[in-house]
Every structure is written in C-alpha cells, then in structure tokens.
C-alpha cells in the first residue's frame, strides 16, 4: 500500500467501530446471551424462575412439533433455493442476453415485489388464495374448472408449497439484482473472447458466465439459507402455522411457545436451538463450498 499516510491509526479505527459495535451488542449479542441464560430455567413469566439445567434442551430434542417445523423450514429452503436463487439467476441471465427487449421495464417489474413489506405480500396472497373471491379460484371458475377451485390455505398437504410461493415471488427480484451486479463485475473482454471462439447463448452462460459468478451465487445461497431460518412474517399472516401445525416454522414455534403458551424458558431454548442449527447449516455449506474450491 502506498497511501499509508491517510490510513487512520488503530485507536481511531476502534473509535469508528465503537458506535456500530455498541448497537450490535445491544440488539443482537445481548438478547442471544440472555436467551441462552433463560433457556436453563422453567419460567412462565413474572419474577419466579426455577433452574432446571438442560431439561429444556432434552425436551427440545424429542419435541415432535419442533422437528416438524424444522422439516418445514428445510422444505421451504429447498423450494427457495430453486425458486429464488434459481429463477433469479435465470432472469439475470435473460436480462443480460440479447433476446430481451425493454430491459429497464423488465428489471423494474421483477424487482417491484421486493420493495413491498412481507406483511403486504402475505395479505395480497391470502386474498388471492381465498376460496370465495380469490383471484385463483375466480380464474379457475371463469374458465370452467369449477371442481379445481379449492380452499387453498385449508389444504394441509400442499400448504408449505402454497405459503412458499409468495416468498419466492417476492424475493426473485432481490437475487436477480445481486446476480446482475455479479455479471457487471465480469470483464467484457472475457465475454468477447468467448464469442469470438464461438460460444453463444446457453454455452456462454454455462461455461463462461456461471463459473465466473460462483462467488456471487454462493453469497446468494448463503443469504437464502439464513433468510429461510428466520422465515416468519408471511406464514404468520397467511396461516399462523395452520392448519394445526402443518405450516409451522421454527421461528414461529419459538414465538408461539413464548408468547402464546407463555413458556419463556422453553421458548428461549427453542430460539437457541434455532441459532445452533442455523450455524451448523451455514458451516456445513461453507465446508462443502471450500472443499470444491480445492
């Protein structure tokens, strides 16, 4: 580095970091540490707490609802990886190719759902799924497929797919923008060279663009994983985990345990469980990626 003269001193570095660090400690680190502490107690709210050691955690390990919710999270993650990152990538590739016209319009329209609050998206889709006056059933009835009109959000089996669709719809634009940023980092000479060598369309995308975008894609995958582990809003609004526990998610379950069953001790244990599992998943995916790099 030649410009060491403008580099601030270590002490200044720390000073600049301090405000951000304080906020972070207060809003993130402290609650997690507190939750970890509470998870060792039987605590139903109020000043009375009974220390019960690891009992909450042994209960968590054999809690059917929690593991069902975790399964739902994993299913949602799988769909989101395909739907959000996958479709986002396809859209980005298309927008970068020469086939598409009105690129700015398409880009704006694709990104638009991402500007909406999750609550709004969930409400829109709840109305679309409505049995009597929802858009989906109205369309089906309009084209004479009356027997296909369903009370969509009441169907226990496909419910996870149904609640994931709005999530995908909302987030495609976000990943698309990230991918497009990744594209613009690829130097145009490389692409020109490929074209001169005869690579076009799909071939160019598969052999040149994608390998060069690997890091961007990995960031997207990572964001998608963490985003899914805290999935909450849209399911909370659309079904509140129902029917029964069919669309329950781990974060929703933690909320339910603490604020509906008023079991704060166990609720904290559930939250800590989520943190641990999320860390394991993220670490596992990093290991997989790094091994591939070697």
Partner 1 sequence: MRSLKKTLGVVLSMGILLTGCAGGATAAVNSSGSESADGSQPIEITLVHRYLEANVGVNSEDTAVLQMLEQFKKDHPEIKVVEEQLQSSEYNTKAQVLAASNSLPDVFTVQGSWMENFVNNGLITPIEDDLAKNPEYRDGFREGTFDVATKDGHVYGVPIAAGPTHVIYYNSQMFADVGYESFPQTWDEMLDAFEKLKAKGIIPIAMGNKNGDPAQSGWLAVIADRYTGSEWFESICEGEGASFTDPEFVSALKAFKDLADKGYLNKDLNSIDNTTMQNYFFEGKAAAMIDGIWAVTNIDSAAPQEILDVTKCAVFPAVEGGKGNPLSSAGGAGIYYCINSNVTDPEKRAACMEMLEYMTGKQCAEIMASVGGFPAYDPKDFDTTKLTPLAKEAYTLCNQATPSRIYDLWLDASIITTLNNGLQEMLAGTMDPENLAEQVQQSYADYLAFK
Nearer to partner 1, 31 or 201 (CB): 31
Nearer to partner 1, 127 or 190 (CB): 127
Measured CA to CA, the distance from residue 146 to residue 137 in angstroms comes to 8
Q: Does an H or E element contain 51, and which?
A: strand 49-51
Taking the complex as a whole, how short is the minimal distance between the CB of residue 177 and partner 1, in angstroms?
A: 19
Taking the complex as a whole, how short is the minimal distance between the CB of residue 159 and partner 1, in angstroms?
A: 9
Taking the complex as a whole, how short is the minimal distance between the CB of residue 223 and partner 1, in angstroms?
A: 9
54-59 contacts, C-beta under 8 A, 24 or more apart? 56/265, 56/266, 56/268, 56/269, 57/269, 57/273, 59/266, 59/269
Taking the complex as a whole, how short is the minimal distance between the CB of residue 292 and partner 1, in angstroms?
A: 16
| Burial group, residue 52, by CB count within 10 angstroms (0-12, 13-18, 19+) | middle
Given the rule CB under 8 A, which residues bind partner 1?
A: 24, 27-32, 34-35, 38, 42-48, 126, 129-132, 151-157, 226-227, 229-230, 232, 239-246, 250-251, 254-256, 258-264, 267-268, 271-272, 274-275, 278-279, 282-283, 286
User: Coil, helix or strand for 63?
Assistant: coil
Q: What is the dihedral of CA 239, 240, 242, 244, to 10 degrees?
A: -160
> How many CA atoms are closer than 13 Å to the CA of 126, on its beta-carbon side?
14
Nearer to partner 1, 46 or 211 (CB): 46
User: Coil, helix or strand for 291?
Assistant: helix
Nearer to partner 1, 4 or 290 (CB): 290
75, 168 Cβ separation under 8 angstroms? no
Nearer to partner 1, 46 or 188 (CB): 46
Nearer to partner 1, 170 or 245 (CB): 245
Taking the complex as a whole, how short is the minimal distance between the CB of residue 211 and partner 1, in angstroms?
A: 23
Measured CA to CA, the distance from residue 238 to residue 152 in angstroms comes to 11
Taking the complex as a whole, how short is the minimal distance between the CB of residue 106 and partner 1, in angstroms?
A: 30
């Amino acid at each position: 580095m030649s410009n060491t003269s403008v580099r601030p001193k270590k002490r200044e570095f720390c000073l600049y970091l301090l405000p951000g660090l304080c906020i972070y400690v207060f809003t993130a680190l402290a609650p997690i540490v507190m939750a970890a502490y509470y998870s060792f107690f039987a605590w139903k709210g109020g000043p009375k707490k009974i220390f019960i050691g690891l009992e909450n955690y042994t209960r968590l390990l054999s809690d059917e609802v929690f593991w069902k919710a975790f399964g739902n999270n994993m299913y949602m993650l799988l769909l989101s990886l395909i739907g959000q990152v996958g479709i986002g990538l396809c859209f980005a590739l298309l927008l970068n190719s020469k086939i598409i016209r009105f690129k700015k319009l398409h880009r704006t329209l694709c990104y638009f759902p991402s500007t909406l609050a999750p609550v709004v998206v969930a409400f829109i889709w709840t109305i679309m799924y409505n049995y009597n006056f929802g858009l989906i059933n109205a369309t089906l009835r309009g084209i004479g497929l009356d027997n296909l009109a369903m009370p969509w959000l009441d169907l226990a089996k496909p419910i996870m797919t149904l609640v994931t669709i709005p999530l995908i719809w909302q987030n495609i634009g976000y990943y698309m923008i990230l991918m497009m940023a990744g594209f613009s980092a690829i130097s145009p000479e490389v692409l020109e060279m490929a074209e001169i060598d005869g690579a076009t369309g799909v071939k160019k995308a598969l052999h040149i663009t994608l390998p060069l975008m690997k890091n961007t894609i990995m960031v997207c995958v990572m964001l998608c994983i963490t985003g899914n582990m805290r999935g909450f809003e849209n399911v909370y609004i659309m079904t509140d985990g129902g029917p029964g526990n069919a669309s329950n998610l781990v974060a929703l379950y933690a909320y339910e345990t603490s604020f509906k069953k008023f079991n704060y001790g166990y609720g904290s244990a559930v939250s800590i469980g989520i943190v641990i599992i999320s860390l394991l998943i993220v670490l596992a995916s990093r290991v997989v990626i790094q091994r591939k790099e070697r």
